[in-house]
Structure 1
Amino acid sequence: MSLDWIYYAISWILLTWHSAWDAIGVPVGAVLGTNFAWILSIIFLVVTVRVILFPVFVKQIKSQRAMQALQPKVKELQEKHKGDRETLQKEMMELYKKEKANPLMGCLPMFLQIPVFLGLFHVLKRLDPFKGEDKKTIYGWSVDQFNSASHAKLFTAPLSGKFGSTADELARLGANGSAVKIIAGVLVLVMISTTYLTSRQMILKTGWAEDPQQRMIQRLMLYGIPASLLISGAIFPIGVIIYWVTNNLFTLGQQQWVLRKFPPPVTAKKAVAPAATRSPVQLAKSGGLFGRGKSAPPAPVKATAPKVAGPKPGAKPTNNPKKSRPAKRQG
């Protein structure tokens, strides 16, 4: 199956945004070793894709809420069919079908962005100023646009350069090998960090899933994908890494907004413990100790009359000694 339609779509969005920034007056030439018009075009490619995928993101959040609401029932099934994995999986699939919840919906936005990532990877990989003019004009590019993008840089590192670029590739791009490796290396580390943080942010708010399949997906998103980027990041063009980092930052902001606007429901496990059993840390979070809220005033202590010990049985009564009178003044 040909992916040309993806390459045409990605190229059209990039070129449209580049023309817009050019019309606004963003410098086409390098400023501080950076061609900001092309950098902004990649950044707003992310914005365009995320706006298109926003309805899918909303469905993802709803699915996650539905899955979280089913956690008590999932726990019951796990206890009921402990040791019978086949029956457990069957019962859980029936539960998801009945409640119209999809465990894979959480990964859907990421899967839908894979074609965009592959398209941008292919388009940027082709940027070579020594290509023939017939190859420069495919996917809707003009020769001038292709040459401009081929020489576009981020702090003197070409957008089509990679951490693993060979000396021959760097020579064709007219790039400094050390600069490319430093810029690409820093961006790869930022890409790995932000990828980890996007998954960690959601797990911290919603908690680990009880469903083994869901938990496996969470672990894959949290640890597997960032670890794989440590290796695959060496073959990503700098422009693709800029896209990935921008997408991660967009996701972090979007998730933070959604989690504040629509906080996850509180499950039985997350219910607040009684005041008598709270630890000092819990008290701090709920307003005690160093918390923000004011602690409840202590209950007033009722005054009680002092107890007077009575005489022991069989003891002789004693008379109170007379108070000594003050001596009379003489004279």
Structure 2
Amino acid sequence: MSLDWIYYAISWILLTWHSAWDAIGVPVGAVLGTNWAWILSIVFLVVTVRVILFPVFVKQIKSQRAMQALQPKVKELQEKHKGDRETLQKEMMELYRKEKANPLMGCLPMFLQIPVFLGLFHVLRRLDPAKTSKDLYGWSVEQFNSASSAKIFTAPIAGKFGSTADELARLGANGTTVKIIAGILVLVMMGTTYLTSRQMILKTGWAEDPQQRMVQRLMLYGIPLSLLISGSIFPIGVIIYWVTNNLFTLGQQQWVLRKFPPLVTANTKPGAPKAGARGPVQPAKTGGLFGRKPAAQVPAKPVAPKVAGPKPGARPVNPKKSRPAKRQG
């Protein structure tokens, strides 16, 4: 299946925004070593895609709410079919079907953005000034030359951390500068990717379903760590796209989570008391140091009030227990 339609669509959005910034008066030439018209075109490529996908994002939040509401039933199934993984999976799939909940809906917006990411990756990788054929998905020769020489802080947007010396020479770039700019952006990309997943998990809590929890851990730790290696092959323009997308996601999630607050469950916040809890845990009756009862719980023995001794010459109160007075010799 040809992906040319994706490349043409990405190119059209980039060129449309670049023409808009040019018409507004954003400098086409480098200012502070940066061609802002092209950088803003990449940023607003993100805005365009996210606006289109906003209804899907709302469905994602609603699906996560539905999954969160099903957690008590999921936990019951786990207790009921403990040790029988096959039956548990069947029962859970039946539960999701009955309640019209889709566990994969939480990842749908990310999956829909993969073609955009791959399309931009492909387009920027073809911005090679040394190419004799500059027919790039509807780009004019002037637009091709302008984009292939576009830079951010003197590092070309088509360059990458792992660029070879030959590639850097064709782009007219300094290898050290490219590595510094690309390295910083990769670290920012990793950090913002982690924060987007962490923000959602802190608001909705960890899933009770082991499969969902595994997906959450992959999103939180696996993907950011994988970017440390894969980021070296991403063109700088693609990393700018990724960072901008993460920042947009952080703002969008914050707005949606305020408008549609998550359900209050035992897992909503770390340290929150579980459902049905009676309050702070009280000391056990047999707890205490070395298995003895705590001093506060050991009932005090009744102490008899002190009684003053009998007056001289008076009869004793309890003659049976009283001792006879010693005779004086």
TM-score by length of 2: 0.82
Distance 1:25 1:103 in 2: 47
Q: Does 1:247 align with 2:283?
A: no
Q: 2:153 aligns with which of 152, 155, 158?
A: 155
Q: Choose 66-75 or 258-267, whichever is displaced more.
A: 258-267
Distance 2:204 2:7 in 1: 37
Equivalent residues of 2:189, 2:242 under 8 A apart: yes
RMSD: 1.9
Partner of 1:210: 208
Equivalent residues of 2:136, 2:144 under 8 A apart: no
Partner of 2:105: 105
Q: 1:168 aligns with which of 163, 166, 169?
A: 166
Partner of 2:119: 119
Partner of 2:230: 232
Distance 1:209 1:167 in 2: 47
Partner of 2:75: 75
Q: Secondary structure at the match of 2:2?
A: coil
Aligned-partner residue type, residue 196 of structure 2: T
Partner of 1:191: 189
Distance 1:12 1:77 in 2: 50
Q: Structure 1, unaligned stretches of length 5 or more?
A: 279-309, 317-331
Q: Does 1:4 align with 2:4?
A: yes
Runs of 4+ in 1 over 6 A off after TM superposition: 312-316
Distance 1:180 1:276 in 2: 56
* Count of aligned residue pairs for this structure pair: 283
1:282-325 C-alpha deviation (Å, 9 max, x unpaired): xxxxxxxxxxxxxxxxxxxxxxxxxxxx9x89999xxxxxxxxx
Name whichever structure is richer in helix by fraction: 1
Distance 2:86 2:72 in 1: 20
Change (3 A) 1:170 1:276: closer
Q: Secondary structure at the match of 1:175?
A: coil
Aligned-partner residue type, residue 253 of structure 1: G
Task: Give runs of aligned pairs for residues 11-160 of structure 1, distance below 5 A.
Answer: 11-132=11-132, 135-160=133-158
Distance 1:101 1:58 in 2: 14
Q: Secondary structure at the match of 1:139?
A: coil
Deviation at 1:83, TM superposition (A): 0.4
Deviation at 1:267, TM superposition (A): 1.9
Q: Secondary structure at the match of 2:44?
A: helix
